[in-house]
């Protein structure tokens, strides 16, 4: 698959991104104490299909394991790929929701972390700073820069707070497939890696831990957690690179 999309492909991805942004807004509003991530998953699937779209994640296969849900739901020390379940969220939790859809043959991918009810100051700061790191990464995604510039923007900002930048899981190209070239790490050196060109479509997604960067995968084969049990936050947007910078496709 080509790293650079045709203008008509970017136009199609705008439709995908708009639909996903609408789904994400519905999910944000639904997060509250007492709701389960399984209920959020069911809400997401209905919202996706109501928009003439297909859930990207449902039926996704990795290493022989099939994901059976429309969202990844990762509370507290869960980093990414959490499996929705019937356990109610509690006041003071935080939860990361990752959701994707396909419309017209093109994928959009988006993630956000929100507080459930009233969370601690440290949790709220982690959420705010992780989202800010995504904004800085997107600002660095301009033609002529390299992927290392994007990761460097995240890493230098985040490590200034003593947080851990997850290195095992990274952003990616996106288009007709959910995961395309190139990989977009959330760490790196300036002027290193793939050259960013106009027409590229990327899913940029910082995953940031309150303390250490180390992670491990639970026995379900999917759920990634922080090794030290600390909180983790995750934000992601699908973007298209324009002549002067990035256009966020998954934002209302």
pLDDT band at 2 (very low <50, low <70, confident <90, very high): confident
Q: What is the pLDDT of residue 129?
A: 99
Q: What is the pLDDT of residue 157?
A: 98
pLDDT band at 237 (very low <50, low <70, confident <90, very high): very high
Q: For the chain, how many structural domains are there in total?
A: 1
- Report yes or no on 164 lying in a domain: yes
Q: What is the pLDDT of residue 24?
A: 98
- Report yes or no on 1 lying in a domain: no
pLDDT band at 50 (very low <50, low <70, confident <90, very high): very high
109-139, pLDDT tens digit by residue?
999 999 999 999 999 999 999 999 999 999 9
Which residue range forms the structural domain that includes residue 144? 7-248
- Report yes or no on 62 lying in a domain: yes
Closest CA to 201 of 186, 224, 179, 219: 179
Average pLDDT, the chain: 98
Q: Is the pLDDT of residue 10 over 90?
A: yes
198-226, pLDDT tens digit by residue?
999 999 999 999 999 999 999 999 999 99
CATH, residue 107: 3.90.230.10
Q: What is the pLDDT of residue 165?
A: 98
């Amino acid at each position: 698959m080509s790293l650079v999309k045709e203008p008509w492909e970017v136009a199609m991805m705008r439709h995908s991104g708009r639909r996903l942004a609408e789904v994400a807004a519905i999910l944000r509003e639904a997060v509250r104490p007492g709701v389960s991530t399984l209920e959020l998953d069911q809400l997401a699937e209905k919202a996706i299909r109501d928009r003439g779209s297909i859930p990207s994640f449902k039926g996704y296969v990795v290493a022989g394991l099939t994901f059976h849900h429309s969202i990844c739901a990762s509370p507290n020390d869960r980093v990414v790929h959490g499996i929705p379940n019937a356990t109610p969220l509690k006041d003071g939790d935080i939860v990361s929701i990752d959701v994707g859809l396909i419309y017209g043959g093109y994928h959009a991918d988006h993630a956000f972390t929100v507080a459930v009810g009233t969370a601690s100051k440290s949790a709220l700061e982690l959420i705010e700073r992780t989202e800010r790191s995504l904004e800085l990464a997107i600002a660095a995604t301009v033609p002529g820069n390299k992927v290392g510039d994007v990761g460097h923007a995240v890493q230098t900002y985040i490590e200034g707070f003593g947080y851990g930048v997850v290195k095992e899981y990274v952003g990616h190209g996106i288009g007709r497939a959910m995961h395309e070239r190139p990989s977009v790490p959330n760490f790196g050196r300036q002027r290193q890696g793939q050259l960013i060109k106009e027409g590229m479509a990327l899913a940029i997604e910082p995953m940031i831990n309150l303390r250490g960067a180390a992670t491990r995968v639970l026995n379900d084969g999917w759920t990634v957690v922080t090794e030290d049990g600390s909180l983790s936050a995750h934000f992601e947007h699908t973007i298209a690179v324009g002549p002067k910078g990035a256009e966020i496709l998954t934002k209302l």
